[in-house]
Chain A
Amino acid sequence: MPDQVSAKPRRSIGGWLLIALPYSWLLFFFLAPFFIVFKISLSEIAVAIPPYTPTFDPATGWRGLVKMLGDLSFENYVWLTRDSLYWKSYLSSVSIAAVSTLITLVVGFPIAYGMARAPTEWRTTLLMLVILPFWTSFLIRVYAWIGILKNEGLLNQFLMWLGLIDQPMTILNTNIAVYIGIVYSYLPFLVLPLYANLEKMDASLLEAAADLGCPPWRSFWTITVPLAIPGVIAGCFLVFIPAVGEFVIPDLLGGSETLMIGKTLWTEFFTNRDWPVSSAVAVILLLILVVPIVLFQNQQQKAAEKGL
């Protein structure tokens, strides 16, 4: 494809409208809200609706704006560093997400690899089978694990029937259940980009290696794996970034020991009704995720420009 991005076409009014419509929607409903979150994270909690102060009253004009800016404080951020709950939540979210991403990669790579090696006529069906669970409700798929993992659940019944254990193991409401939940829910996100990558791989490279006497396991490590790296990176980002801020999985499958920042934010907002502190929690979470998100975007952009 010719270099589309560098082309600078003459643009008609229609061309500008085309850009303006989705652009302004995202500016207003995606970007602007972050500034509001930041502003409210600098406010103080108040018993009012909305439950924070200072607020900006447009009627007071410029002077009101100056007064509001003067009243902002970093109190909430200081609070986040003082209470160990918050930084422990951040740390454990990142570590839970990182461990789950690694497990997802270990589980997902053989699946994607198997799909790419399957006969061509199977591939569409296999692809469909990976995508289908992605369409079915996330909440339902997490919920399904409760019935499997609980003490009197199906997994424990099965293991006891096999005679492997003689009394039920506690899995539900532990971090192990959270790992299982994340791996299960995000597996398609990792398998799809990885499969797309492995499938495009030039088979003649492996054939050449085999002809030159390279054993299959060695050509796997020296040819297949390095070529799959872009797919691995894309897949890992797609698992890791949302997993850090996950709420449903730690809430339904995790226990009291499970600290995750998404859950902390939710409790702060819905239970404690402290909007300023939950905004501050969100700002820090965003700062943690900024680097992986920007890396992910660059990668997506590169892939899109290559026409993948």
Chain B
Amino acid sequence: MRQGPSWFNITSLVLGFSFLYLPIVLLVIYSFNASRLVTVWGGFSTQWYVSLFNNQQLLDAAWVTVRVAFASASIATVLGTLAALVLVRSGRFAGRSLFSGMVYAPLVMPEVILGLSLLLLFVAIDQARGFWTIIIAHTTFAMCYVAVVVQSRLAGFDTSLEEAAQDLGCPPVRTFFSITLPIILPGVVAGWMLAFTLSLDDLVIASFTTGPEATTLPMKIYSQVRLGVTPEINAVCTILVGVVTVVVIFTSLITKRREMQRQQDMRRAEAQG
């Protein structure tokens, strides 16, 4: 747009972003509070971080959570990428609208319904609940997010590259790995990360589908919060927020650099051709 932002635009951006960030910033600041009373400032201290690393239960829960998130994000990325390929490339087939319905519905489906229905499925097929049932549950809803992210990447894709490769006799699987995948990779990486953080974060679905031996970090945080706000939980949350922020910024920088590299290569190739 030709006109620059007006004072109204700037004010709404400043207010909007303060609303989005202030609660998290306050949470981080108060995790370094020496006072046990969470909202009264009693000087700077890292004691809650120290006590956190001595809390074996919390560390165990964190380890379970990371493993679940890693496994489910990886399976969800494979399935979600396939689903995106089906949606964008497979044209018409019997049951296509059912398929796209099943891909989009979990994005908005209330978590209580997803959790309850999966639990009842596991009970019906007599599957003991625990680590693996959480992974299956998380894979199921995360793959839909992956599919949507990868699909948007595939939609702006120049199919002539693939056609050229196939015309030159490259088998479909090889075409996929040497041409399609490198181009949609930023979408696939973003999808994996989204799936990972969704799993890391989920309380409701995990509570329904878990068994006695697998407690995830959100479940632990939730039960502590119900007992009252503690500075220790502020410290856990700060670490989680920190890790996610660093990873997201890092990957976005990498994908940006790759993208620029790719565009440069394309321009060079065009200039030579």
Contact = CB atoms under 8 A, between A and B. Distances in A.
A279 B116 contact: yes
Interface residues of A, number: 105
Contacts of B123: 50
B54 interface: no
Contacts of B207: 270
Contact of B20 (A25, A34, A130, A308): A130
Contact of A301 (B9, B100, B136): B100
Given A242-B110, A297-B100, A114 B3 contact: no
Contacts of A19: 86, 90, 93, 99
B237 A22 contact: no
B108 A148 contact: no
Contact of A114 (B9, B136, B237, B241): B9
State the majority secondary structure of interface residues on B.
Answer: helix
A40 B120 contact: yes
Contact of B218 (A9, A137, A157, A282): A137
18 contacts: A4-B88, A9-B91, A15-B90, A18-B86, A36-B117, A110-B8, A114-B5, A117-B1, A133-B24, A145-B23, A187-B20, A238-B108, A245-B109, A269-B208, A278-B116, A285-B113, A297-B100, A304-B152
Given A110-B9, A191-B16, A304-B152, 13 more contacts: A6-B92, A36-B120, A37-B116, A110-B8, A114-B5, A138-B201, A141-B24, A144-B23, A187-B20, A252-B226, A285-B110, A300-B100, A300-B104
Interface of A: 1, 4-9, 11-12, 14-15, 18-19, 21-23, 25-27, 29-34, 36-37, 40, 50, 107-108, 110-111, 113-119, 126, 128-133, 135-141, 143-148, 150, 152-154, 157, 184, 187-188, 191, 201, 203, 206-207, 237-238, 241-242, 244-248, 252, 262, 265-266, 269-270, 275, 278-279, 282, 285-286, 289, 292-294, 296-297, 300-301, 304, 307-308
